[in-house]
Amino acid sequence: MLTLKFGGTSMGSAKRILDSVEIMIGRAKSDRISVIVSAVAGVSNSLQAAIDGCITGGNATTYVESIRKTHVEICGQIEAELKGFDAKEVLKKIEINFTELEKLLAGVASFGECPKSIHCRIMGMGELCCVPIVNAVLQAKGQDVIVLDSRRFIFTTGNQAEGDVDYGRTAIAFESYKDGGKNGSNRIVLLPGFVCSWSEHYDDEPKMGLLGRNGSDFSAAVVASSLNSTRCEFWTDVDGIYTADPRVVSDAILVDDMTYEEAMELSFFGSKVLHPKTLAPLAAKNIEAWSLNSHNPEARGTRIGRGPFESEKNVGPVRGISCLKNTALISVSGSGMKGRTGFASRIFQAVSRAGISMLLITQSSSEYTISFCVKQAEAQAVEDVLSQEFDLEIREGVINKIKVQEHTAIVSIVGDGMKQNCGVAGKFLDSLSARGINLLAIAQGSSERSISVVISGEFGDIAVKAAHLFFFNTAQPIEVFAFGAGTIGGALIDQIRDQHDKLLAQNIDIKVYCIATIDGMILDGNGLDLSNWREDAKKATEEASVDEILEFVRDTKPLNPVFVDCTASYDLPNRYLDIFKAGMSIATPNKRANSMSMDFYHELRRVANENHCRFLYETNVGAGLPIIDTLQNLFNSGDKLTGFNGIMSGSLSYIFGKLDEGKKFSEAVLEAKELRYTEPDPRDDLKGTDVARKALIIARESGMDIELDSIKMNSIFPEGFSIEGTTEEFLKRLPEVDSYFEEKMAKLKKENKVLRMGASIKDGKVSVGMLEVGPEDPLYGVRGGENAFVFQTERYTPIPLTVRGYGAGAGVTAAGVFGDIMRTVSFNPMK
C-alpha cells in the first residue's frame, strides 16, 4: 500500500487536478493506493476570510458565491477536457456543502462570532468539496474508487481545530482497509485531508474536527500509519525539500535525503513544506516519506527516512533553515526566582492549564529569567494566566511584571550533523550580526539537532537569507538601486551588466533592481534585465521616488541593498538618513553629503552604523583613485596626518600645466573649456569651491572637525580683477590677468619652480589657492589633467605618501563606485 497526498497546490486548477489524477493512476498500476486530497488552492484561505468577514458583518452569500464560482469553473474546465466527467452531476453533490456553508456563515454574521465547532465545519468545506471532483475524474478514467469520510475514520481529542490523534481508535476504524485489505482490494481509497472526528472525551458524541492548518499532510501520515503503507508521498509544487523556503531564498538547494528528525525539527520550526505533526507517525513505523512535485513528476524528490544516507556524506552540518513567524516571547523574571525551586514548574503548569504549548524555552544561567515562545495569538492568554499565577509575587516585587515581546520570529538551523560539530552556532550568530539583527533569545535543542534564535518578526526572512548564505555558500547578492543614470551612473550600470557573469563565478551575484532618472523609474524585484536598459528607462511610466524604493526594500527585504546616488543633487543627501534607516547602504560620488555641516557628517555615520549599513564615497575625491580607503586604513591603524598638498581638479591641473609651456593664462582657460575639462562656466573651477569641498572631505577624513566656511580661499586672481558678470563678459576680460601670470611665471622660472593650483592642510588649517613648487615636490610634474594627493603623515615622513593619476572621467569614476559597492559584501569567498 502506498499513501499519496495531494495538497492545494496540486488541486489549483482543472489541469493540475487532471495531472495529479494521472500520477495516482500511474501509482495504482503497480501498487494499492490510498489518496488524501486537500482543498482546491486558496479555498481554505477564502473560508477563513469568510469567517473573519462575517464576524464583522460581511455578507455570507457573497463569500459563498465566490467559493462556488471557483468550483463551478474547475468542473466546467474538466468537463471540456474529459469525456465521462459530468460537471452538473458533481456540482449537485457539492452543492449540499454550499447550502450548509451559507447557513453557517449567516449564523456567524448574525451572532458576530464563530464558535470552534462552527469554525471547524466551515473550514473543512474545502476538502469536502474537492473529494467529489477528484472522485469523478478517477471514475471517468475508469478507476475503481472507494471514498472514505475521514470524519468517521480519524479520531481526535484535545483542541478541536488542531486535534491530537487517537491512534488506537483510528486504527480500529481502518482495520478492514489495512494492507489493502478485503474492502480496499484493488480499489483506490480516497479521503479528504484536514477533517476528522473530534470529541473531548472518549464517550462524547463526536463532532467534526480539524488537524490544524496545513493538516492534510498529517491526515496522510495518519492514514499511511493506519493502513500500514510502505511509503507516503507528499505531492506539492516544488521539487522536494529545500535548504530554505524557495520563496524566500531564491537559490535554496534541493535536499536529496533527510532524516525523520531533521524534517520534524524543520517543520516544527515553521518550514511550511510539511505540517509539524506529520513525521512522528511515519517515523514510528519506519514508513518512508517523499516530498514530490506534481508539476514536475519526473524530479526525484526528497526522501525522508531513518538514515544515515549516502548523500549526506558530502554536505555540511546544516540541512535546512526555517522561520516560524507570528510568535511572541514571554519572559518571567525577578530576584525571587534565583536559587528557588518550583518557579519553573509553576510557570509551565500555568501555561499548560491554559491549553497552550510552548515552542521554545530558555533560562538565563543566573536563574533570574525564564523565557519562552508561544504563538502570537496566545500571547495575551499566557500573560493573563501568569499574571494571575504570580499575582502575589508581582505585588511584592519579587517577580517583575510579565514581559511580552510581540510579533517575534523563531529562526532555526537544523541538521543531524551539528552534533559534535563546533563552530556552527558561532557561524549562525555571525551571519545574523553581519546584518545587524538583534537576538532576543537563543536556544539549542537538547538533541543538538537545532539551534534557534528569537528575533523581531520583521527580520525573519532576512535572517533566513543571511544564514543561508553563510551555511550554503551560495552567491552573495548585491541589490543595486541606481538613482541617476547619467554619464557616471550609466557607465556604472554598463560595468555591472558586463561584469555580472564573471562575479557570479566568484560567488557574487550583483543585480540592478532599480534605475531612476529624470524620465522616471524602472524597478524589478528579481533584478532588471540590463540588455536594453537605456531604452527601458526612457519608457518608464513611474516617477523616480526615493520613498517608493524604501517601501520596496522594507517590503521585500533584500539581503544587501545598496542605494547608489549618481546624481549631483543638492537635496538627495537629505534623504540619506532615511535610506540607512531602511537598511540600505549608500555608495556615491556625490560630494554634497560629506560637505554639509559637521553635525550632519557625524549623524550620517551614526545612523549608518546603527543600521549596520555602509556609507561609501571613495569617488568623492580623486574619482577612482584610492584616496578615502587609503586614508581610513592609515588612520585606523594609528597614523596621523601632519600635512597635505593636492591637485584635485583635472581642469586646474590642465590650465596650470599649460603655463609651464609658456601659454597665456586666458588661452589655457579657453583651451580647457573647449576640451570640456572645465565646467560650462570656467569660474566654477577657477574659484576653487569644488577643490575646497574635496579638501574639506580629506580634512574630515583625517579626523579634523571643520566646516566648509572655515577653509581659507586664496583667490588666484590679482587684486582689483573682477570676476563678476556673464561667462562671456568674464572670458572677454580674462586676458587682463595674462601679464600677472606671466610675471609670476618669469620669477618662478628663475627659482626653477612651477605654479600649481590646489589645496593644503597644515597645522590644522585648510587652504585653497596657488602653490609654488620646486622639482623636489611631487606636484612638480603633475599636469595635463592629472590629479595628485601628497600625504605627509607621522609614518610617511620625510617622504610623503603620494597617489596620482586621472581624477576624473566617467569610466574611472564609475569603477570607483563599483569598488565601493563591492565593499558591501560581508565576505569574499574565493572560488
Contacts to ligand ASP by CB under 6 A: 7-8, 38-39, 44, 126, 193-194, 213-217
Helical H segments across 712-777, by residue range: 727-733, 738-750
Q: 756-792 burial by CB neighbour count: b if 16+ within 10 A, else e? A: bbbbbbeeeebbbbbbebeeebbbbebbebbbbbbbb
Residue 158: name the closest of 218, 118, 202 by CA: 202
The CB-nearest residue to Mg ion is 214
CA distance 831 to 535: 35
Asked if residue 321 lies in contact with residue 468, where contact means CB atoms within 8 angstroms, the answer is yes
Q: Does 241 bind ligand ADP (CB under 6 A)?
A: yes
Cα→Cα distances 623→610, 648, 684, 752, 786, Å: 28, 10, 18, 31, 11
Kindly tell me which of 170 and 474 has the beta carbon lying closer to ligand ASP.
170
Q: Minimum distance between the CB of residue 254 and Mg ion, rounded to whole angstroms? A: 18
237 binds, among Mg ion, ligand ADP, ligand ASP, none (CB under 5 to 8 A by kind): ligand ADP
**Chain residues 167-226 in contact with ligand ADP, contact rule CB under 6 A:** 214
Q: Minimum distance between the CB of residue 273 and Mg ion, rounded to whole angstroms? A: 7
Stretch of residues binding Mg ion (CB under 5 A), selected from 15-23, 208-216, 568-576, 762-770: 208-216
**Chain residues 102-141 in contact with Mg ion, contact rule CB under 5 A:** none
Q: Does 585 bind Mg ion (CB under 5 A)?
A: no
**Chain residues 5-34 in contact with Mg ion, contact rule CB under 5 A:** 7
Q: Minimum distance between the CB of residue 240 and ligand ASP, rounded to whole angstroms? A: 18
Kindly tell me which of 235 and 665 has the beta carbon lying closer to ligand ASP.
235
| Among residues 23, 37, 188, 238, the one that binds ligand ADP under rule CB under 6 A | 238
**Chain residues 742-801 in contact with ligand ADP, contact rule CB under 6 A:** none
CA distance 455 to 428: 13
Residue 115: name the closest of 51, 69, 64 by CA: 51
Q: Does 8 bind ligand ADP (CB under 6 A)?
A: yes
For Mg ion, how many residues bind (rule: CB under 5 A)? 2
Cα 674–677–680 angle (5° rounding)? Answer: 70
Percentages of the chain per state (helix, strand, coil), in multiples of 5:
45, 20, 35
Q: Minimum distance between the CB of residue 215 and ligand ASP, rounded to whole angstroms? A: 5
For ligand ADP, how many residues bind (rule: CB under 6 A)? 19
Q: Does 561 bind ligand ADP (CB under 6 A)?
A: no
Residue 579, helix vs strand vs coil:
helix
The CB-nearest residue to ligand ADP is 7
Contacts 24+ apart (CB under 8 A), 770-779: 770/714, 770/716, 771/645, 772/748, 773/645, 777/645, 778/645, 778/802, 778/804, 779/645, 779/646, 779/647
Residue 41: name the closest of 80, 4, 90, 7 by CA: 7
Q: Minimum distance between the CB of residue 488 and ligand ASP, rounded to whole angstroms? A: 51
Q: Which of 92, 272, 694, 753 is catalytic?
A: 694
Residue 321, C-alpha cell as written in the block: 533553515
Stretch of residues binding Mg ion (CB under 5 A), selected from 87-95, 206-214, 241-249, 403-411: 206-214
Residue 824, C-alpha cell as written in the block: 558591501
194 binds, among ligand ASP, ligand ADP, Mg ion, none (CB under 5 to 8 A by kind): ligand ASP
215 binds, among Mg ion, ligand ADP, ligand ASP, none (CB under 5 to 8 A by kind): ligand ASP
227 binds, among Mg ion, ligand ADP, ligand ASP, none (CB under 5 to 8 A by kind): none
Task: State the burial class of residue 473 (Cβ atoms within 10 Å of its Cβ: 0-12, 13-18, 19+).
Answer: middle
Stretch of residues binding ligand ADP (CB under 6 A), selected from 7-15, 97-105, 201-209, 748-756: 7-15
Q: Minimum distance between the CB of residue 148 and ligand ADP, rounded to whole angstroms? A: 20
Asked if residue 101 lies in contact with residue 62, where contact means CB atoms within 8 angstroms, the answer is no
Kindly tell me which of 44 and 760 has the beta carbon lying closer to ligand ASP.
44
Annotated active-site residue 93? The verdict is: no
Q: Minimum distance between the CB of residue 133 and ligand ADP, rounded to whole angstroms? A: 16
| Among residues 2, 4, 9, 28, the one that binds ligand ADP under rule CB under 6 A | 9
Q: Across-strand partners of 809?
A: none
193 binds, among Mg ion, ligand ADP, ligand ASP, none (CB under 5 to 8 A by kind): ligand ASP
**Chain residues 245-274 in contact with ligand ADP, contact rule CB under 6 A:** 245-247, 271-273
- What is the per-residue binding string for ligand ADP in 319-338, x denoting contact by CB under 6 A? -x------------------
Residue 76, C-alpha cell as written in the block: 466546467
Residue 545: name the closest of 575, 525, 524 by CA: 575
CA distance 572 to 580: 13
Q: Does 478 bind ligand ADP (CB under 6 A)?
A: no
**Chain residues 23-52 in contact with ligand ADP, contact rule CB under 6 A:** 38
Q: Minimum distance between the CB of residue 235 and Mg ion, rounded to whole angstroms? A: 11
N- to C-terminal Cα distance for the chain?
48
Asked if residue 161 lies in contact with residue 210, where contact means CB atoms within 8 angstroms, the answer is yes
126 binds, among Mg ion, ligand ADP, ligand ASP, none (CB under 5 to 8 A by kind): ligand ASP
Kindly tell me which of 5 and 756 has the beta carbon lying closer to Mg ion.
5
Kindly tell me which of 37 and 91 has the beta carbon lying closer to ligand ASP.
37
Q: Does 408 bind Mg ion (CB under 5 A)?
A: no
Q: Minimum distance between the CB of residue 691 and ligand ADP, rounded to whole angstroms? A: 56
CA distance 707 to 700: 9
Q: Detail the DSSP E strand segments found in 280-380.
A: 288-293, 302-305, 320-333, 360-363, 369-375
CA distance 618 to 815: 10
Residue 565: name the closest of 549, 542, 543 by CA: 549
Q: Minimum distance between the CB of residue 215 and Mg ion, rounded to whole angstroms? A: 8
CA distance 290 to 2: 11
Parallel, antiparallel or unpaired: strands 188-192 and 33-37: parallel
3-state per-residue secondary structure call for 378-402: HHHHHHHHHHHHCHHHHHHCCCCCC
220 binds, among Mg ion, ligand ASP, ligand ADP, none (CB under 5 to 8 A by kind): none
Parallel, antiparallel or unpaired: strands 450-456 and 520-523: unpaired
Q: Does 214 bind Mg ion (CB under 5 A)?
A: yes
Q: Minimum distance between the CB of residue 493 and ligand ASP, rounded to whole angstroms? A: 43
CA distance 252 to 270: 16
Asked if residue 105 lies in contact with residue 63, where contact means CB atoms within 8 angstroms, the answer is yes
Stretch of residues binding ligand ADP (CB under 6 A), selected from 241-249, 384-392, 407-415, 450-458: 241-249
CA distance 64 to 97: 10
Stretch of residues binding ligand ADP (CB under 6 A), selected from 72-80, 135-143, 236-244, 643-651: 236-244
Kindly tell me which of 193 and 573 has the beta carbon lying closer to ligand ASP.
193
643 binds, among ligand ADP, ligand ASP, Mg ion, none (CB under 5 to 8 A by kind): none
Helical H segments across 155-259, by residue range: 167-174, 216-226
Q: Minimum distance between the CB of residue 83 and Mg ion, rounded to whole angstroms? A: 32
Q: Minimum distance between the CB of residue 123 and ligand ASP, rounded to whole angstroms? A: 7
320 binds, among ligand ASP, ligand ADP, Mg ion, none (CB under 5 to 8 A by kind): ligand ADP
| Among residues 155, 242, 483, 677, the one that binds ligand ADP under rule CB under 6 A | 242
Kindly tell me which of 36 and 482 has the beta carbon lying closer to ligand ASP.
36
Q: Which residues bind ligand ADP (CB under 6 A)?
A: 7-10, 38, 214, 236-238, 241-242, 244-247, 271-273, 320
Contacting positions for Mg ion (CB under 5 A): 7, 214
Q: Which residues are catalytic?
A: 694
